[in-house]
């Protein structure tokens, strides 16, 4: 399982029933919540995402439409008797914001809550199955994107073939990690004769709120799914730049230059009632584009073998 | 116009589609927002309450389900180019909570935002048409209720009758304030011969989150509408007391002892999927009870002449 559920995709002001930014990346072991605009806890309930599976929350920056729902979610988790640890990866100032609110209500979370201030860039999570890196993006205030990378999986042993070479099962784990087998007579059995490659690791990049910035191309090159904001349609390029946001066309250009598998665009300005034109404009440049419509779940797949 | 719109009435955790506490008291001149749980700005939009008419916001206490929606609403008002002043009446600590969040996003509200820390009790608003008093209630952290009182309106002159006594129109304003007229011959024309009483002032009391507390009876005596929390059904009286909340029966008893016109109960615990039993239990003791169901608008009326 490596799937992205959209909980909110509006910019700044909730409008036309669209909620501020929040997404959940679901894996076999855990859920990652990415940004947490106001109402995220209601959206989790509406779209039946289990909050008990959320192990880590990533906050890209401290504009309210990306984090005002966090304190409510954390508080509700406590009221619902959560016991497992929760990790928050966010700009350093958020820790104080959470603390002053907990202090005012006399609240101490009864589950272990670990706050990890974001470094400039680099690896912030490295654990069983997954790595997460953060990288800076260009916005009005410090802002980060996140790159989620599955860990390389072991190769699969083909038992019939391994058996035909009399390879003892004790050696299978070494086969899984790519080692050739050498028989008692000194004959080498090449690893790929008796194993097959596991599915290559999948990657998802979340670029948060950002100005059009070609420096992103190298960072997100070849990811299977790219989320890039598209706050405005292409005829608002000046306004987008002024506000450190991007247009449909700019989002699609990053996707194209980076040769990603699929693009999802969101963070639609509240001035637009209808968002279909966003898809039309982006698709001209990068056909495999979709809109971050609330409630959709995108299965992240490798578009091509690597 | 003196009407109460319910935007949210759930306690602690949003559940079963019910939102945390928020209400709007609408008058001819302005709207007052009372508490502001997470999602209030979405609820205002959903129920078509004009946020531009909100002149004052009252926050009863700093449990999150009563104020986590405030910072988002204030921010959106700024993004929507609000220019008119906004007054916040709230526990003193809220000012810092708002400031640290505005600082983190580099936000300065462009409309005048006035913060008024709540005093222990007393008059906090005295202006054209209305007075607002706050009073302490018993909860786990400092918590206030609010009493909204229309100002006494001038009496209405009955022109035909005033004319029959040859009362000059210049004297009408004095008639409106209850003065008798004395003719040139020294005859007294009693005021109530030539005027009629205006509609007596209406009163609404909001008791926030509170333990059952008979001290409230005197404070809310005779109000036209009383909001009293009823977090639990009557069989949970012990749990209610432990958590500084009230039951259906306790809310109704306060209404009965205070001889209020009408009672509205809310702040339903998230453990209840169905809230009809709340109405059944309270109505036994105080028949003129209604549930704080989201979206309803209660016209506050005098039940009896005073």
CB contact under 8 A, B38 and A141: no
Question: Which band of pLDDT confidence, cut at 50, 70 and 90, is reported for residue A33?
Answer: very high
- And the tokens for A303? 């578009």
Catalytic residue (one of B28, B29, B35, B65): B65
- Measured between CA atoms, how close is A107 to chain B, in angstroms? 9
Collapse the DSSP code of B122 into the 3-class scheme (helix H, G, I; strand E, B; otherwise coil) and give the result.
Answer: strand
Question: Can you give the pLDDT at residue A305?
Answer: 45
Measure CB to CB from residue B71 to each of A68, A80, A105 and give the nearest one: A68
The tens place of each residue's pLDDT in chain B, 306 residues long, gives 999 999 999 998 888 889 999 999 999 999 999 999 999 999 999 999 999 999 999 999 999 999 999 999 999 999 999 999 999 999 999 999 999 999 999 999 999 999 999 999 999 999 989 999 999 999 999 999 999 999 988 999 999 999 999 999 999 999 999 999 999 899 999 999 999 998 889 999 999 999 999 999 999 999 999 999 999 999 999 999 999 999 999 999 999 999 999 999 999 999 999 999 999 999 999 999 999 999 999 999 886 544
Question: Can you give the pLDDT at residue A303?
Answer: 61
Measure CB to CB from residue B100 to each of A42, A97, A270 and give the nearest one: A97
CB contact under 8 A, B19 and A42: yes
Are the CB atoms for B246 and B230 separated by under 8 Å?
yes
Dmax over CA atoms of chain A, in Å, equals: 75
- And the tokens for B261? 């016109």
**To 10 degrees, what angle do helices A70-79 and A93-104 make?**
50
- Measured between CA atoms, how close is A278 to chain B, in angstroms? 22
For all residues of chain A together, what is the average pLDDT? 95
Q: What is the pTM of this model?
A: 0.91
Question: Can you give the pLDDT at residue A306?
Answer: 41
A180 is catalytic: no
User: In percent, how much of chain A has pLDDT > 90?
Assistant: 93
User: In percent, how much of chain A has pLDDT > 70?
Assistant: 99
Q: Between chain A and chain B, how many beta carbons pairs sit less than 8 Å apart?
A: 97
**To 10 degrees, what angle do helices B93-104 and A93-104 make?**
160
Are the CB atoms for A279 and A289 separated by under 8 Å?
yes
CB contact under 8 A, B14 and A45: yes
Measure CB to CB from residue B101 to each of A41, A76, A97 and give the nearest one: A97
- Spell out which chain A residues touch chain B, with contact meaning CB-CB distance below 8 angstroms: 12-15, 19, 38-39, 41-42, 45, 62-65, 68-69, 71-72, 75-76, 79-80, 91, 93-94, 96-97, 100-101, 103-107, 140-141, 270
Measure CB to CB from residue A79 to each of B13, B68, B97 and give the nearest one: B13
CB contact under 8 A, B101 and A141: no
């Amino acid at each position: 399982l490596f799937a992205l559920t959209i909980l909110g995709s509006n910019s700044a002001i909730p409008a036309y029933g669209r909620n501020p930014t929040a997404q959940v990346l679901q894996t076999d072991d855990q859920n990652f919540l990415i940004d947490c605009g106001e109402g995220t806890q209601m959206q989790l309930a509406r779209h039946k995402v289990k909050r008990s599976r959320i192990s880590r929350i990533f906050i890209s920056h401290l504009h309210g439409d990306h984090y005002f729902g966090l304190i409510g979610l954390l508080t509700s988790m406590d009221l619902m008797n959560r016991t497992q640890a929760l990790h928050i990866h966010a700009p350093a100032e958020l820790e104080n914001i959470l603390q002053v609110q907990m202090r005012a209500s006399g609240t101490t979370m009864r589950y272990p809550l670990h706050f990890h201030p974001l470094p400039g860039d680099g690896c912030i999570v490295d654990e069983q199955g997954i790595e997460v890196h953060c990288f800076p993006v260009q916005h009005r205030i410090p802002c980060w994107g996140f790159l989620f990378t599955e860990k390389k999986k072991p190769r699969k042993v083909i038992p019939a073939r391994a058996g035909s070479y009399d390879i003892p099962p004790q050696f299978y784990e070494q086969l899984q990690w790519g080692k050739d087998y050498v028989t008692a007579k000194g004959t080498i059995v090449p690893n790929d004769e008796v194993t097959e490659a596991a599915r290559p690791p999948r990657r998802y990049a979340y670029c948060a709120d950002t100005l059009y910035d070609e420096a992103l191309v190298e960072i997100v090159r070849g990811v299977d799914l790219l989320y890039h904001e598209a706050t405005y349609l292409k005829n608002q390029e000046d306004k987008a730049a002024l506000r450190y946001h991007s247009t449909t066309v700019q989002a699609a250009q990053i996707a194209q230059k980076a040769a990603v598998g699929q693009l999802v665009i969101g963070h639609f300005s509240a001035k637009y009632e209808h968002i279909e034109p966003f898809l039309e404009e982006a698709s001209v440049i990068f056909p495999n584009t979709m809109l971050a419509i609330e409630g959709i779940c995108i299965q992240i797949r490798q578009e091509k073998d690597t």
